[in-house]
Copies of this chain bind each other. A is one copy, B any other.
Amino acid sequence: MKMTDLFTKTSKTVPGDETARNAQLLIQAGFIHKEMAGVYAYLPLGLRVLENIKTIVREEMDAIGGQEVMMTALQPRELWEKTNRWDDAVVDNWFKTKLKNGTELGVGLSHEEPLVNALGGYVNSYKDLPVLVYQIQTKFRNELRAQAGLLRGREFIMKDMYSFARTQAEHEELYERVAAAYSRVYDRLGIGDVTYRTAADGGYFTTRFSDEYQTLSDIGEDTIYVDEAKKLAINKEVYTDENLQKLGLNKADLVEKRSVEVGNIFPLETKYTDALDVYYVDEAGERHSIIMGCYGIGVSRLVGMLAEHFSDERGLVWPENVAPFRVYLATIGVSDAVVKQAEELHSLLTEKNVSVLYDNRDVRAGEKFADADLMGMPHRIVISDKTVAAGVYEYKHRMSTESQQLSQGDVMKLLGV
Contact = CB atoms under 8 A, between A and B. Distances in A.
Interface of A: 5-9, 30, 33, 35-36, 39-44, 47, 50, 65, 67-76, 95-100, 105, 107, 114, 118-119, 121-123, 128, 131, 133, 138, 140, 142-144, 154-155
Contacts of A69: 41-44, 47
A5 B129 CA distance: 9
A70 B8 CA distance: 14
B142 A100 contact: yes
Contacts of A74: 35-36, 39, 95, 140, 154-155
Nearest to A361: B127
A95 to B, nearest CB: 4
A140 B73 contact: yes
Nearest to A65: B5
A12 B162 CA distance: 28
B43 A118 contact: yes
Nearest to A111: B41
B97 A70 contact: no
A40 B131 contact: no
A35 B100 contact: no
Contacts of A133: 7
A138 B97 contact: no
A69 B41 CA distance: 8
Contacts of A131: 7
A5 B95 CA distance: 35
24 contacts: A6-B67, A7-B119, A30-B122, A36-B105, A39-B72, A41-B72, A41-B114, A41-B118, A43-B69, A43-B118, A44-B67, A47-B68, A47-B69, A50-B70, A72-B155, A73-B73, A73-B138, A74-B154, A95-B97, A96-B97, A97-B97, A99-B154, A100-B142, A100-B144
Given A72-B35, A122-B7, A155-B72, A107 B97 contact: yes
A366 B165 CA distance: 31
Given A43-B118, A44-B68, 15 more contacts: A5-B65, A7-B128, A8-B122, A35-B72, A35-B75, A35-B76, A39-B74, A40-B72, A41-B71, A42-B69, A73-B140, A73-B155, A97-B107, A99-B154, A100-B144
B7 A123 contact: yes
Contact of A42 (B43, B70, B154): B70
A119 B33 CA distance: 9
Contacts of A155: 72-74
A70 B73 CA distance: 16
A65 B114 CA distance: 39
A73 to B, nearest CB: 6
Contacts of A123: 7
A155 B98 CA distance: 13
A122 B9 contact: yes
A114 B35 contact: yes
Nearest to A123: B7
A407 to B, nearest CB: 32
